[in-house]
Structure 1
Amino acid sequence: MSAIKVNQIRAKLRQLFEAHLDLSDIGPTDGERENKILSRCLAALAIYIQTGCTEKEAAESVWDGGDDNGIDAAYFDPSDLRVVLVQSKWINKGAGEPEAKDIGAFTKGVRDIIEQDNTGFRAGLHAKFSDIALRLSSPGTSVHLVLVSTGASVLAKHGTSVLTTLLKDLNGDDPEPIASSEAMGLAEVYSGLANDPLLSNVSVDATMLDWSYVATPFPAYFGVIDGLQLKTWWKTHGKALVASNIRHSLGSTEVNNEIKQTATSTPEKFWYFNNGITLVSNEALKAPVGAASRAAGVFSFRGASIVNGAQTVSSLAKVDDDNRLAEVRVPLRVILLKSAPAGFGDEVTRTNNLQNRVEPRDFVAQDPEQRRLRQEMAIEGVDYQFVRSEDSMATATSCELIEVTTALACAAGEPNLAVQLKTGIGRFFVDLSKPPYKAVFNAGVSGARAFNAVVVHREIERWIDKKKTSMTKKSGPAWGALVHGNRVLSAAVFAKYGSGNLSQAIASFGAAFDPAVIEAHCDIVHAKMAAGIEANYPGKFLAVLFKNPSMSKNVFDLACA
C-alpha cells in the first residue's frame, strides 16, 4: 500500500514543482537524478503546505545541492512571521525515516543560520542566507523546523533526541518559545497533496449563542461563539480557514499576545475587548434542534473562510487551558454568499480589512511626557516625531519614537532594558503606566538627554556596521557580539561614556561630542564581550544568550570591567 502511494505522489510532485526548480547541478546521466529531483520536490511541497505560498515560490525556496549545510529549503512566511526550514528525504519504498546523521547535519545548518554563519553554505546561497538570517534577527520572528519524507511520520529515539536538544538550546527558558518542529511522513505528504491549502473548501460546525438572522439585502447570521470552538476550527483546518483573507496569522505579535492573555486571565472580559470575527460562507445548514430558540443555534457553514479576525482565532488556538477558552465569548458574523452577487465576497474581505491597524505605540500620543519632550527638544531646534507617520525620518536635527526608546533603554546604565529590546520593542508600549515604558519615559528624562542619547547611539550603530563589514569571519563570539549582542554592547558603551554627559544642553553636547571617544569605547567593549563569551559561554546560542537577563548581565559586567 505504501509503495502505491509513493508512486501516486511521485507524478503529482513533479507536476507541481519540477518546472520551477533549479536542476542545473544535476547532470542528465546522474544515476540519482530522479531521486534528487523528487527530494527537492518534496522540500518544496513542505514549504507549500506549511505556508500556503505558490508552487513557484515553494520551488524557489529550495536550497538542496552541494554545500547546503543540511538545509534543503528555507522560506520566510510573512503571514505568520515565521521562518520555515526543511530537510527532505525521498524514500522509494515508503517506509523508514531520515537517518540520525542527516538530522544532525540539518540541526548544524539551523544553528549556523541562527548564528548568521554562512561558511558552511555555497556562495550561490549567500544572498538567500542573508535574507533568512535577517528575518530571524527581527524580534517576534519564530523558526519552524520540518523533516519531510515519504517514510514514517514519527522519528526514532536518536533522531528525536537530536532535534529536541536543538529546540531546548534555541528556546532556553523563554515562556514564548521561538522554535518548533514537526515530522511529515508519507501520510502527511499524501494528505497534503490531496487537500490543496489554497482552496477554500472548508466546512465548519458552530453553536452560536444569542443568534439572529438578517434576511436582506443579503442573508447573514450574527451572534456569539465560544473560544474553544474557534480553537477546534484552527486545529482542524489551519490556514485553509483563512484562505480568502488578505493576511493569515501574524504570529507572536504584541496584539496577539494580548488576545491570549485576556483569554487566559479574564475570559469574561473578552467580548468587550475584541472586535470579533467575520466569516463568509457559501451556504448555511441549521439543525432543527431548538429552531424556535435564539439562545443557541447549531449550524454547519460550508465553503467557509474567515475574512476578518484571523489573529483572534489563531491566537486562541494557542491557549492551552480549554476550560478557560470555553468561557471566552467572541462576536461572530457570518455572511452567506450563495444568493449574493458575484464578487460580493471579495468586497466584504476588502472593506473589512480597510481599517488602519492601531499599534500599542500609537497610545503614546496621549502621554503628557511625550509632549513635554517634544517641546523641550523643539526649543533647541530638534524635531521629535513621536506620533506614527509615514513622514517620520531621522536627521541631524530630528528623531523619532523608536529611535529615542532604543537609545534611552541602552543608556539606562544597566543591561535589563537593552535585553528587553531584543525580545521586542513593542513590549515597551503595552502598558504606559509601568516599566519598561516608565523606566525610559518619566519626569526625570529631559528632552536634551533623550536627543543626546540618540546622537551617541547613532555613533555606536555606525561603528557596529563598519565593524561587521570589516570582519572576514562571519561567525563566532566576535561576530555574535555585533549581531545578537548589539544592544548590550551599546549599553556597555553608554556605561563607560557616563550618563552625566547626556544631561547637557543639546547645543553644548553637540559642540563637545567627539565620535572618536565612542569608537574607542566600542573597540574595548567589543573585545571584552567576545572574550567573555568565549570563556564563559562556549557553544551557546548567542541569539538566546542575549535574550537572557542574567547571562546578558554577566557579559555586560565583563565588558564594563
Structure 2
Amino acid sequence: MRTALLRNYSGLIYEEDLRGYDQAARDQRFLSRALAADAVRIVTGCDHEAAGRAVIDGDRDQGIDAIAVGEGSPEVWLVQAKSSDAGTAKLSRDDALAFADGVRLVDGRNFDPFNDRMQPFLPRLDAAMGDSRLRITLVVALMGPATLSDAATGVMERLLEDANNNGPLLRYEVLGSADFYQRLRQDIAPDPVNVTATMRNWLRRDVPFEAWQGTVAVRDLAGWYEQHRDALYEQNVRKSLGLTRINSGIKETLLKEPENFWYFNNGITVLCDRIEPHYLGRRRGDESVRLTLEGVSVVNGAQTVTAIHEAMELDPDAVDDADVTVRAFSLGPERELYATRITETTNTQNDVSQRDFIALDPAQAEIREDFLLSGLGKTYTYKRGEPDPAPEAGCSVEHAAVALACAYHSPELAVRASKNVDLLWERGTRGAYPRLFSEVPSAYRLWRSVQVRSAVGAALELERRRLHGRAADMARRGDLLITHLVFQLIDQDGMDDPNLDWQPILHKVPTLTSLVLSWMIFHLDAEFGRNSFLSSTFSDETRCKTLAKLVLDDARRGATAPALPEDYQTQAMRPRKPRRPNAVPTLVSAGLLVDGTPLTYRPQSDPERAAVKSWLAEDPRRDKATWVNDRVKCLLWTYDGKQYSATGLVQRIWDLAGYEDAPVSVQGPGRWTLENGLSLWDFAVQLFEKEAEED
C-alpha cells in the first residue's frame, strides 16, 4: 500500500509545505494525504487526479484532510486520515474532536478559518449546504483495522446526535487497510469480458445454477477472440498454447470439413457471472436464442477458440458453415464455490499436466498480485502459454519453483528439479509443491531467490571455463545442488524485507559459488570415487545429502579447498611452477609488517578509477587503512574504524561508491599499497621468491 500510494499520487497532491522535512518525515506526511485522497476515490468513484485535488490537509485544515462534493447532487464527504507503515493507525479522541469541530464549521458555512485549498470547493459546497436533501458522510480513513476506540466512537456518535435532530443529515463510516488493499486489487483486476452468441438446439437448467448448452456458429467465437484475445481465458488453467498438433488438427477440420466440425470437436465450456437471454422466437429449444454473457472466462476449449479464429482469418467463407457446442454456466455469487471444480473436471478429459492445474491455486494469483503491488515493479506469470518475462522484468512460476527448491533447507527438492521440473508440481504429503507454496512466499523472497539462482548460474559459467573434463561436467550437472549449497551459506532471514539492500549478498554469490564448487569436486571424488557416475550421484537424494553436509561443514569453517588435479584444469590454467601461497597469510607468517603500517587503496583499471574517484575525494580517510596481523581481516579502515579482509574492504568501497559494473572477482591485496609503492601482493611475491631461492 505504501508503494502504491506514493506512486499513484506523486505530483497530484499539494506538498509545497513539506519541503523543509527530511525524506522520511516528508513521506509520512505525504502518505497521510495520499490515504485521504484514496478514501475519496473509494467513496466517490473518482480518479486519482480528482482525488488528489480533494486533499486540503495542512496548516488550518481544521481537522479535515480531504473534501468532496457530489456533481449535481447534495452529497458531501469529509475525510480525516491516519497513516501507519506498521498498519496500526488509530483515531484518537483528540483527533475525533478536531474532526467534529471542523464539521461544525462546515455545517455553519463558516469557511474563513480554512486554508486556501478549501476555496475551489466553496461554490458547490455552499450550494449543497443550502439543499434540503443534503447528506454529509464523515469518512475516517485508517491504515489499520477499520474500528474506532470507545472514546473516538463517543465523539462521533454525539456529533451525529446533535446533527440529526431534524432528519438523517449526517452519517460516518470507517475505512481500514483491508478496504484500501481491496481497492488496489480492483485497480489491477482485468476488465470483465462480455460477449454475445446465438444458440440453437439449446437446453437450459436452473439447479444448482443457471446453465445453457447448445450449438453456436463458429463465427461468433471467432468474434469473441478478435475482441478479447487471451482475456477470454483468465480463469482457465492455461492460455492458448499457440501452434500445436491439436490446434493444427482443429484448423484442418474447419478448413476442409466445416460441416463435420460439430461432430469431431468436444466444444467449449464458459463460466460467467450472468446470462441474459433474448429469445428470437418462441421459448423452445428448437428456436434460436441470443445470449448475452457477462464476466466470461473460457475454462475448457481455449485451443478450439484460438484455432477457430486462425482458421476464420485464413478462409472465412469455408469456416462460416461450421458450428460448435457451447456450454455456458452462470455462477453469479456461487462462482467462487464452483469455478475451480468445473475447471478441473472439464480439463481432466484432455492433455493437461499437473503444471497446468497450479493455475487454479489461489496462492499463484496472490503472488502475481504481490509482484504487481509491491515496490519491485516485476511481472510474474504462472499459466502455461503465457510468455516468460525478460530476465530483468520478472519471472515465471517455473523459474520461481526451481529457485525455491534450491533455497529449501535440504537438497532433496533441488535434486528433484534437476531430474525434471515437473516433479515440483506434485501434490500430497511428500509432494514438492505444498512445501514450496503452501505458505505463500512474498514477492521479495521469490524474486531474490530467482536472482541468487541466476547469479550462481552466471558464476558457474565462468567457473566451467577454467575446468576440464569431469570437473567441468560436475559444474554443469550439479548446478542446482551447488545453488542449494550457496543458499545455505547466505543470510536468508531478511529476504522478505522490502528495505533490505540485497546487492551486497548478490556480490558474495560468485565467491561462494567458487568455494562450494571446489569443495564439491573434492568431496564427490573422495566419497564416491573418481570413476563414479555423475548422473546417478546428482539424481540420488541420499548421496546429495551426504555431499551437501561434507561441503557445508568445510565451507562454514572457512577451510581452503585442496587444489584441483591437473587433469581437471584447462591447459591455460595449469601451473608451471608450485602455486604461490595466499598473500595475507604469507605476510603474517613473515612478521615483517607491524600493526599500524599505513596502506593506501589504488584502483587498477580506468573504469574502477572513474567509479570511485569522486566518492573517495569526499573524505581523505576513505582510501586509507592500517595493517593488522590477522590472517583474514588484515586491514583496519581509517574511515569507519572496522576490520576487513583486503578483498572485502575493496568490495565495501565499491558498494558505497556505487560501482555498478564492478567485476565479479577482485584481488584485494594487489590494490593496497605500502609507502614504498609495493602492494601487499607484490611484497608477498618478493618474500615467496626469496624463500624459493634460499631453498
Q: Which has the higher contact order (CA 8 A, sep 6+)?
A: 1
Task: Pick the structure with greater CA Rg.
Answer: 2
TM-score scaled to structure 2, two decimals? 0.29
TM-score by length of 1: 0.35
